[in-house]
Amino acid sequence: MSDNPIENPIDNSAESSDAELSAAVEEALSEAGVVVDEIKSLTNDLQRLQAEYSNFRKRVDRERIEWSERTVGTVLSEFLSILDDLDRAEQHGELQGGFKAVADQLIGVTKKLGLERFDEVNVPFDPNIHEALMHNTSAEVSETTTTQVLQPGYKFKERVIRPARVAVTDPE
């Protein structure tokens, strides 16, 4: 090798192309980083929107079921006076023949829809399902007890449509 002060132009151009290549790679990596960050941001936005939409659908489905149940409950509550009349007719012996068949069908349909009648006697008084209309005292009971049902109560889907109207007896 000689100590020639003139540098080899091939070596100089290789160094400059290496520097250009290195700069281009760094610029591409920087741009790729920006694109990756943007993709992450858009992916997060998409996931958030999907979660919001899923929650929206669930809420709408719950509300639809709730409104459906409220509607059925409202319709069933309108039948309560008819059921009371059928009950009184049966107690007086007036419910017979074809009319009894219709009454049985009506009662069956309301039960099928989820209407539950409650008219138990000698059970502890529960203000959530009972409405006390008469009051007595007795030494025979140890807690406030329903002793007579004046009008049966009804529930639909664990929600009281009408409380049972009862006579209660308190301990002395």
* pLDDT value, residue 72: 93
* pTM greater than the 0.85 cutoff: no
Q: Are 161 and 73 in contact (CB under 8 A)?
A: yes
* pLDDT value, residue 1: 46
* pLDDT value, residue 13: 67
Parts of the chain with a pLDDT under 70: 1-14
Structure tokens at 170: 């308190």
* pLDDT value, residue 139: 87
Q: Are 146 and 122 in contact (CB under 8 A)?
A: yes
- What is the C-alpha separation between 144 and 15, in angstroms, rounded? 101
* pLDDT value, residue 3: 52
* pLDDT value, residue 128: 95
* pLDDT value, residue 23: 86
Exposure letters 131-161 (e unless 16+ CB within 10 A, then b): ebeeeeeeeebeebbbbebebbbbbbeeebb
Chain centroid, CA 14 distance in Å:
72
Average pLDDT, the chain: 89
Q: Which domains does the chain have, with CATH numbers?
A: 116-172 (2.30.22.10)
- Minimal CA–CA distance to 84: which of 107, 68, 59? 107
